[in-house]
Every structure is written in C-alpha cells, then in structure tokens.
Chains A and B, each alone.
Chain A
C-alpha cells in the first residue's frame, strides 16, 4: 500500500507547513481555516497537531496530544471555559472531534451529531444532524445505548447509528452524504463502535456478543458507503477472508481453525463482536482490532478454543484479508472481551527496538506484542487476577487456574478476578506518551462469582445465561488510574479511586495525563508520578475519553464528556431519575454512587 504511504506523507507535510505559518503569524482563525481545508482534501492522514480528527487522535490509538501549553506547572490553573448539555441521558462514551474551527459531538442514541463553531463566543452550533434511529435498537443493546465517536475524512464526519447504520455527513453543511445498513437489529446486532478510515476504506463492526451474533468487521467505500468487504471473526476460512498461504497466526497452524475450535457448530452463534476501537500501521499496512466474548456464557456449550473470540486480528484494510490473529483468552469462560484498544508504539525491549502493539485486556493482563508477527513479548497482570497464573510466552496461552474454570457443570464458581466488567473496560481506552514511554489507563479492582446455565438460541433475544454478582477486590479501592511500563510489564504509579475507573485517558506533551471518574470528577495528574494537579466536578460520572485541541484563538484546551452510563446504566440503575416506573435498588458494590452522581450528558471544555 505504498500509495497510501506517499499520500499520507504529502498531506502531513502540507499541514505541517500551514501549522508553521500559523505559529509564525499568530494563529488567526483565518489561517486555521486554511489548515483545515488542506486536511479536508486528505482521505486520511496524521492530523494537524491542534486537531483531533479520529477517535484516538491518531491511527496508532495513542491518545497523545503534542500540545504542551498546559504543562505540569500550569495545570493547577485550569478552569472550565464552556459546557453544553446534549439533551441525552445515555452513557456518553467516546470523545469529540475537532477539525479546523469546528467541534463535532455524537450523542448516545438517538445519535445526534452536533457541530460547534469554536471561532465564535460561546461556541454556538453551526448545525445539528438528527438521524431517524429505530427505538427497537435500545432493547438489543446489551449495555446502554452508547456511541464511541466519529471519524473525519474526506470532508465528511462518519459515525455509526445504534440501529445498524453507518452514516457520512458533510462536515461543512451537516447534510447526509450516504447512509449504509451494515447490521441487523433483528439478529441482535447494534452498532456502538468508533469507525476508523484507512485510505478509502471506512472500517466498522457491530456489537452483539450477548445476542449470539456471527461477528464480523466490514470495509466500506469512503466515497459511497458501499460495503467492499466483510470479514467474519469466526467460522469458515472463506468467511474470515483467509486466503491460502496468507494467514500466519503465531502459535497455531492449519485450516478452518475458526470452525474446528468449536464443538457442534457452535460458532454459528459464537459472538466475537467488534465494539471497540480500530488502529492502523502504515508501515505494516495492517489494521488491528479486538474481538468480543464468546457466546453463550456457558463455555461447555462450545467446547474448544472458540477462535477467534477474545482475540486481536490483523487485516489488510484494502480487501480485509486476515494476516494474523492471536487469542488472549482461549475458550472464554468469563466474558473477557478483547475489544479494548490496540495501541501501536515502537518500544525498546531488552535493548532491541520493537514494533509493538500494547493491549490492556478485560482478563487483567496487559500484553505487549510484536505487531508484525503477533507474538507475545510481555504479558503481566495490571490489576488483581485470579483466573490465570500467568501467560506462557512459549505457547501464548494463559495458565488457567482449574478452580476458576466455569461451566454449567461447575456450579457457582467464586472469587474470579477480574470481574466480567474487566480489569479495564474496553470502553475506557488508554493513552501512550512517547515522552515518558508510559501507558496510562483506567483500571477496575473487583471480582465476581459466576454461575452459568445452559441456554437455547432464540433469535432476537439475549444469549447469555449467567448470574455473576460482584465483590470488591483487595486493597480497599474499586478502581485506579495507572501508569504502565509495557517493556517490563509493571505498574509505575497508581492513583486509587473509590469507584471503578471507567473513563478513557489522554496524555499530552506537557506531561499531563487526564481522566474522568465515575463519581464525576475531571482530573489532571502529573504523567511522571500521578500527582493530582487539578480536579473539577463535571456534574455526572465520566465514562468518555478526554481529548485535546488548539482553538482558533491559538490556545490549548481539553474536552471531556460527563454522562454516566454504559455498563453503569445497568449496574447503578439508581443513578437514573428519568423513569418513574423503573426504580432500581443500589448496587451493593457501589451502593453510594447515586449519592455522588446522576445521569446527564454534557460536553465540558477546560483551558487556562
């Protein structure tokens, strides 16, 4: 894909030139607008350093901002400069985009897209786009009606609707350009993930690991929205887009692995949904993404490794061809989705420079892989783990504690850590700073008991069958924000939180890391040691991801959503006051959470 590489380089150079002019000339709104016009001609490219045009800020999913105006010394002087109620109560996951002088915000269902004019006082709306999204999708979404954000490319804002559509909207006018049906709500598929654009492909996937889906990822044509390829994550090789001689998983070989690792044809409703994040490396020309849990939750109904659920897959963006895959949790028996971000960084391990992929899994291990081959280089727990002792680097397999194996013949298995909410939620994407060489992530510290029963597939209804109450992990805290050294697999520092930590992370060239807490604090900490520099109560719990941008005034800002939800819409139903006919008891794990926060979606911007 050399042409993509050349294109990208050319665009980056143009943008860099404009940024240089902006810096010299004093960064007027006019110059910024010109910079945006140049970016607008790119199909994809490294964004100008003051913009945030894709979900994680860049293709590598680093959530690193090169802006340094807000540094460790200045961060204590942060203040909220603007806020806006989205009028929507669902969990506000994901992050805004900033392209030129416009901020774009996608809400949870009903998936409104707002465009704010950052060049005018009070950031008034330029327009809002209100798609007609089916209400039926609400009940087919396992875990609240969230949306993890949009991507900008080719003059379009592209994002997914909960009811199974991808839509492209003209970034300037708000008029729809194309809309494509990608998923079927009647089959239990909803769409919550954030798409990525690679070249002229829009990469999308669907949720539904709790509804017995036959999981897939698709590549759409950027210009028209047409589905160019569909690659399943399990099942027959042909459906997985495995071409003879081109698929090289690092630890196994053979054909039809996605069928032969499932008893009784159970792959047909085996799950492996795509509900998280996509990353891309132009050097390997591979896109990387994680797959979700296996279904149903009773692993004895699907004996075998159940490939490729709970895995990372590497594909060619142009045609979807599968190049390698690695399974973090074979024979998933704990609902350990691997849909968390795959962060691409070049690290020095044992004196050797390695093209790495770093992933914090729900199963409590953080993995450092070679992103060319998929081999595991480092795998260590980042939170309290009991289900497995370690990961065997020779085989790539976890060393599972037999007492922690679940199944309908196993009864109620107690004391499994982490819980099925994950050592970190895949909804909480980490960040990586090339300045500190550290990774930053929210984590959870709670465990579960797990009793499954056999279930029958009934189309249009859940395919789960578990009772899994949660208990606190050791140490007297339920969550933490940590810094992680992925070259050795150790926690460098840890900021403990009274509640599970569910927001994404941001780190900047100013060595400041940002996150939000479930009880509604927006926090800035020193990326080198975790020291709290600033905090502000944003009004509702944080489950979104902070992002940074340079405004048309040349100043550096950080934006984050407030709006508790996602799994917490289910787990802490008493944080909702919206329905007088639906009263929930407090969750024993977080029984005072509703005394700290309540639902409500808002966008907040902080600055100096």
Chain B
C-alpha cells in the first residue's frame, strides 16, 4: 500500500495534528471541492435515533450534518487519515474489525447516522474508543466519517455458511 506509506512519512515529520489539517486543506485545494466551512461541533445533545424516545417524543437538539457527505476526494483523504491516526491498528485495514468492531459491515453499535459516527470518533466511547476530537478537530473527524460511509457492506451479511453448495 504505497499510498499509505507516503502519507505516513509525512505524518512522522510533523506532529499528529498537522498532517490531519494539511490533508484536509490539500483535499479542498487540489480537488476543487466545496470550500471548508467553519468547524461543525456536534453538541452532546444530538439525539441518537437508535434510542427509544419516551412518549414517542425524541428530545429536541441541534441538527448536525456531515459537510462532506459523498465527496469522493474527502473519502480518499479519510482513507489515508484512517491509517495515519492509527484507526486501522484497532479496526484493521479497511475497518474490517480487530480490537475494535467492524466498521464496514453496515451495522453501527451507537447508531447508523453520520452524526452518531461523528460522535463516536469526536467524543470517544466508553469501551475504550479514544476521543479524537481533541487532536483532529471537527473537520478531521468529518473526513473520517465521510470515508467510513463509503465502505461497501459485504454481501450475505446475516448468514455465514459452512457447508459447500
């Protein structure tokens, strides 16, 4: 994976936060993507659609959108960031799952929305998922979310067959 190595060398030359920022800026500049908007912070009050709402009334909270959703150049940058920020050391190459869960199976422990995935990376989760918001900032986290949402779920998800057909 030469692309990963190129990026990793750059990251080792600087502090960890620098490559993330450089990366995002490079993507925005070279690919002619939508100029980056001001950082979007997900407030702790964002509703998790996976939670049951008492009385059938979800609590009101800010609407949080992924500013890069579906942008291929950002997703490619996110794939690089996924390695240089050590995500792949726990979640395996392409997020296939190792210490941390599979991120490419189309199933999400803490909710399937971009905002829920953002919250997991930005604030961390109690089973040892570190909070990356402090080193990556909201922009860097959204770049990662954009990458993760492009991972194609494998076919035949619910059934693992052991007999030959």
Question: B89–A461 contact, CB under 8 A?
Answer: yes
Question: B11–A583 contact, CB under 8 A?
Answer: no
Question: B85–A458 contact, CB under 8 A?
Answer: yes
CB of A141 within 8 Å of the partner chain: yes
Interface size on B, residues (CB 8 A): 38
Q: Which of A450-478 contact B (CB under 8 A)?
A: 451, 453-456, 458, 460-465, 467
Closest to A570 in B: B98
Question: B107–A581 contact, CB under 8 A?
Answer: yes
Q: Which of B113-165 contact A (CB under 8 A)?
A: 126-130, 135, 154, 157-158, 160, 162
Question: B130–A460 contact, CB under 8 A?
Answer: yes
Question: A453–B102 contact, CB under 8 A?
Answer: no
Question: B109–A582 contact, CB under 8 A?
Answer: yes
**Partner-A contacts on B (CB < 8 A):** 1, 4-5, 8-9, 11-12, 15-16, 83-86, 89-90, 93, 96-102, 105, 107-109, 126-130, 135, 154, 157-158, 160, 162
Question: A139–B128 contact, CB under 8 A?
Answer: yes
Residue from A210, A301, A463, A584 within 8 A of B96 (CB atoms): A584
Residues of chain A within 8 A (CB-CB) of B108 are: 581
CA distance A465 to B97 in the complex (A): 15
Residue from B12, B16, B96 within 8 A of A454 (CB atoms): B12
Residues of chain B within 8 A (CB-CB) of A143 are: 99
Question: B99–A142 contact, CB under 8 A?
Answer: yes
Question: A139–B107 contact, CB under 8 A?
Answer: no
Q: Which of A101-152 contact B (CB under 8 A)?
A: 135-143
Closest to A573 in B: B97
CA distance A63 to B24 in the complex (A): 56
Question: A585–B8 contact, CB under 8 A?
Answer: no
Question: A139–B102 contact, CB under 8 A?
Answer: no
Residues of chain B within 8 A (CB-CB) of A454 are: 5, 8-9, 11-12
User: Is chain A's binding surface mostly helix, strand, loop or mixed?
Assistant: loop
Of the listed residues A136, A137, A139, A579, the one surrounded by the most CB atoms of chain B closer than 10 A to its CB is A139
Closest to B4 in A: A453
CA distance A191 to B160 in the complex (A): 34
Residue from A141, A453, A585 within 8 A of B154 (CB atoms): A585
Given contacts A453-B83, A458-B135, contact A583 B105 (CB under 8 A): yes
Question: B1–A584 contact, CB under 8 A?
Answer: no
Question: A467–B8 contact, CB under 8 A?
Answer: no
Closest to A408 in B: B5
**Nearest Cβ in chain A — how far from B110, in angstroms?**
8
Question: A139–B100 contact, CB under 8 A?
Answer: yes
Residue from B97, B99, B105 within 8 A of A141 (CB atoms): B99
Question: B86–A461 contact, CB under 8 A?
Answer: yes
CB of A608 within 8 Å of the partner chain: no
Residues of chain A within 8 A (CB-CB) of B90 are: 139, 461-462
Of the listed residues B12, B96, B105, the one surrounded by the most CB atoms of chain A closer than 10 A to its CB is B12
Q: Which of A549-579 contact B (CB under 8 A)?
A: 570, 573-574, 579
CA distance A137 to B128 in the complex (A): 6
Question: B99–A136 contact, CB under 8 A?
Answer: no
Residues of chain A within 8 A (CB-CB) of B129 are: 139
Closest to B96 in A: A585
**Nearest Cβ in chain A — how far from B14, in angstroms?**
8
CA distance A581 to B90 in the complex (A): 16
CB of A592 within 8 Å of the partner chain: yes
Given contacts A139-B99, A139-B128, 6 further A-B contacts (CB under 8 A): A139-B100, A453-B4, A454-B12, A456-B12, A581-B108, A584-B102
CA distance A574 to B98 in the complex (A): 11
Question: A138–B128 contact, CB under 8 A?
Answer: yes
Residue from A464, A579, A583, A586 within 8 A of B89 (CB atoms): A464
Closest to A571 in B: B98
| 5 A-B pairs whose Cβ atoms sit less than 8 Å apart in the complex | A135-B128, A458-B85, A467-B1, A467-B93, A573-B98
5 tightest CB-CB pairs across the interface, nearest first? A139-B128, A462-B89, A595-B162, A582-B101, A581-B107
Residue from B83, B86, B100, B160 within 8 A of A574 (CB atoms): B160
CB of A594 within 8 Å of the partner chain: yes
**Partner-B contacts on A (CB < 8 A):** 135-143, 210, 301, 408, 451, 453-456, 458, 460-465, 467, 570, 573-574, 579-586, 592, 594-595
CA distance A252 to B44 in the complex (A): 57
CA distance A458 to B8 in the complex (A): 13
Residue from A142, A408, A461 within 8 A of B85 (CB atoms): A461
Question: B126–A453 contact, CB under 8 A?
Answer: no
Question: B8–A465 contact, CB under 8 A?
Answer: yes
Question: B12–A455 contact, CB under 8 A?
Answer: yes
**Nearest Cβ in chain B — how far from A583, in angstroms?**
4
**Nearest Cβ in chain A — how far from B6, in angstroms?**
9
Closest to B10 in A: A454
Residues of chain A within 8 A (CB-CB) of B154 are: 583, 585
**Nearest Cβ in chain A — how far from B22, in angstroms?**
13
CA distance A188 to B140 in the complex (A): 23
Question: B102–A582 contact, CB under 8 A?
Answer: yes
**Nearest Cβ in chain B — how far from A187, in angstroms?**
12
Residues of chain A within 8 A (CB-CB) of B1 are: 451, 453, 467
Closest to B158 in A: A583
Residues of chain B within 8 A (CB-CB) of A585 are: 96, 154
Residues of chain A within 8 A (CB-CB) of B158 are: 583
Closest to A462 in B: B89
Residues of chain B within 8 A (CB-CB) of A574 are: 160
**Nearest Cβ in chain A — how far from B52, in angstroms?**
17
Residues of chain B within 8 A (CB-CB) of A455 are: 8, 11-12, 86
Question: A461–B107 contact, CB under 8 A?
Answer: no
**Nearest Cβ in chain B — how far from A136, in angstroms?**
5
CA distance A136 to B127 in the complex (A): 5
Question: B157–A583 contact, CB under 8 A?
Answer: yes
Residues of chain B within 8 A (CB-CB) of A461 are: 85-86, 89-90, 130
Closest to B103 in A: A582
CA distance A142 to B98 in the complex (A): 9
Residues of chain A within 8 A (CB-CB) of B86 are: 455, 458, 461-465
Of the listed residues B16, B98, B135, the one surrounded by the most CB atoms of chain A closer than 10 A to its CB is B98
Residues of chain B within 8 A (CB-CB) of A595 are: 162
Question: B126–A135 contact, CB under 8 A?
Answer: yes
Residues of chain A within 8 A (CB-CB) of B98 are: 570, 573
**Nearest Cβ in chain A — how far from B18, in angstroms?**
10
Question: B85–A594 contact, CB under 8 A?
Answer: no
Closest to A297 in B: B89
